[in-house]
Structure 1
Amino acid sequence: MDTTQQNSNAWDKKVEEGSRYTQSVSSEIIEKSKSGEWEITVTTERSVPRDWFPKSLVGLKILCLASGGGQQGPILAAAGADVTVTDISKKQLQQDEYVAKRDGLTIKTVQGDMSDLSDFKDEYFDIVVNPVSNLFVKDVNPVWKEVSRVLKNRGILIAGFTNPLLWIFDDNQERKGILDVKYSIPSSSLDYLQEDEVQAYIKSSQTIEYAHTLEDQIQGQIEAGFVITGFYEDDFGGTRILDKHIKTFITTRAIKLKIE
């Protein structure tokens, strides 16, 4: 099946339903960002440290990767960056276009798969910002390699992703307050379903998600030419039982270093 198309359709549906990660930022936030008071998140709750970015974003080319929804891209554009947002969901990109038109911003949007950045030139961007989203691709390693290709030498990658521990529990039971270890890593949303359940799942327009190993998430970046220079964890803000035990989101800051 075409996982990319399935997830594209699913995210279009999430926009229609008003999911948290499809809700664009307000004009008030954009105005503050224009005056230098800006912050973004790439996980759930915690903001990316400002010192992970250069002191000024003015003129810097930033790719917001799999980052539609009118959130990170407009803020960075308001802070002075030359922003491109790419996402598999057309309706998510329309959220960025809406904010740009509403608040007088210039943002380029490109619909596409994060595993294939062939729309972009080698070593074009200064920074890539990738919120939690690589759970929607089967293999994360091509993502790191493509990001490395389009980043300038010493360019910055800020990436949020899921701690695979989140995926070992039965999600329905966890939401009831019961931690039932049921699944293995790596795996996907479809791996433990019966054939008829798979068809029902696909027809329901839900996202297909992949639980990647930490080795693929971190060593994968290193093998793609990155040096990890920052790391923090995040959670669901106390709304899930797992928050009492462990933080289930990770953000890394990495620098591309081309070694001749």
Structure 2
Amino acid sequence: MPKRVAVDEVAAHNERMWERLAKAGIPYTRPQGSPPKTKAGKRRFLDELTDGSLGAFETHGKRVLCLAGGGGWHAILFAELGADATLFDISSRQLETVRRVARRRGTKLTYVRGDMRDLSVLGNGEFDLVYHNHSIVFVPDAGRVIAEVARVLAVGGLYIFSTMHPVTIRMYEGWTGTGWRFKKRYFDDGPIPIVDPTWEFGKIRVRAPTLEYGHRTADLVKACAGSGLVIDGLWEYSPSYEGGPAGSEDDLERQLPAFIRFRARKIGAPAKSPSAANGSRRRTDPPAPPAFAPPPGYSRPNPRRTRGR
């Protein structure tokens, strides 16, 4: 499958980790559940997946990009509800998983493999909606992603994205026996330290030390503002509020939100402030990502998209 060249070593590393996770078949890498067969049922299923953030967005006839969205139902459901849907992800295995499901259902999608920070294969103003679920956490320079999204959005288009909550992500694995501590200061940049990189779901156990970044809320807001995006929705939430044993993730997520979700609309030309456009404070903004060091056997493919069943 054609792909875009990885932007840097972070992308190359996380690509390898997600290929490993997808090979093991963890739930995050494949569609879960079964959508209803009716149009109304599919829309309800999609609204549940997106936590209602779509609002009154009408999918029929719209151009939708599911960014870093391999493995889920989102792209398939958007297409079956009348959208011209494109699925963009760094993991070839996740793209192939969705392709197989879509083929069985007779659903047409466009597939692109690449780093979410490099959308150069996509045109200016090409999409009415960019849906970006729980994956901006895997890149250090979220502002670059947001600027690229703003470029490919049509004026009036929506960008809906979510990530790990910047406070809570710094506290996982931080149980002291009597309370929670921060593993990393809120104001410090760089990847979040991970004590045990094992992903465990039932009988599946995979060691995959992904690089994850706790993007500060203010930086994400400034990146949107600097790219001509106006935020009109904000949610902080956890998958469950029932709690669990002291020191468990469920216990932490009962007290603090696991995720934060933004909905933003493109209003026109972005602001000219460099510091606002990249979404970070001046002292932390890198001038450019480091050069990509190709791993053994890596080749530069033809950057084009594929479409089919």
TM range, smaller chain = 0.7 to 0.9
Q: Which residue of 2 aligns with 1:200?
A: none
Q: Secondary structure at the match of 1:5?
A: helix
Q: CA deviation at 1:256?
A: 0.2
Cα distance, 1:178–1:123 mapped onto 2, change above 3 Å: same
What CA deviation, in whole Å up to 9, does each residue of 1:21-77 have, x standing for no partner? 112145x416245765334379xx7623442523xx122110000110032111111
Residue identity opposite 1:29 in structure 2: P
Conserved in 1, the CA contact under 8 Å of 2:53 and 2:160?
A: no
Structure ranking higher in helix proportion? 1
Q: Distance in 1 between matches of 2:115 and 2:176?
A: 31
What CA deviation, in whole Å up to 9, does each residue of 1:223-249 have, x standing for no partner? 111011112222131461122212131
Q: Which residue of 2 aligns with 1:134?
A: 136
TM-score (norm 1): 0.84
Q: Which residue of 2 aligns with 1:14?
A: 21
Residue identity opposite 2:18 in structure 1: W
Q: Which residue of 2 aligns with 1:216?
A: 219
Give % identity: 28
Q: CA deviation at 1:191?
A: 6.0
Picking from 57, 65, 82, the partner of 1:53 is 57
Residue identity opposite 2:31 in structure 1: S
After TM superposition, the structure 1 stretch with the greater mean CA deviation from structure 2, 90-99 or 147-156, is 90-99
Q: Secondary structure at the match of 2:44?
A: coil
Q: Secondary structure at the match of 1:228?
A: strand
Conserved in 2, the CA contact under 8 Å of 1:33 and 1:75?
A: no
Q: Which residue of 2 aligns with 1:81?
A: 83
Q: Distance in 2 between matches of 1:73 and 1:231?
A: 22
Conserved in 2, the CA contact under 8 Å of 1:174 and 1:180?
A: yes
Conserved in 2, the CA contact under 8 Å of 1:70 and 1:93?
A: no
Conserved in 2, the CA contact under 8 Å of 1:137 and 1:210?
A: yes
Cα distance, 1:74–1:46 mapped onto 2, change above 3 Å: closer
Conserved in 2, the CA contact under 8 Å of 1:70 and 1:95?
A: no
Q: Which residue of 1 aligns with 2:43?
A: 37
Conserved in 2, the CA contact under 8 Å of 1:61 and 1:126?
A: yes
Structure of greater Rg: 2
What CA deviation, in whole Å up to 9, does each residue of 1:109-159 have, x standing for no partner? 100111110010111111100001011111100101000000001111111
Cα distance, 1:41–1:22 mapped onto 2, change above 3 Å: farther
Cα distance, 1:100–1:190 mapped onto 2, change above 3 Å: same
TM-score (norm 2): 0.72
Residue identity opposite 1:153 in structure 2: V
Q: CA deviation at 1:190?
A: 6.4
Residue identity opposite 2:11 in structure 1: T
CA RMSD of aligned residues (A): 2.8
Gaps of 5+ in 2: 1-7, 197-206, 244-249, 271-309
Q: What is the total number of aligned residue pairs between the two structures?
A: 246
Q: Which residue of 1 aligns with 2:185?
A: 184
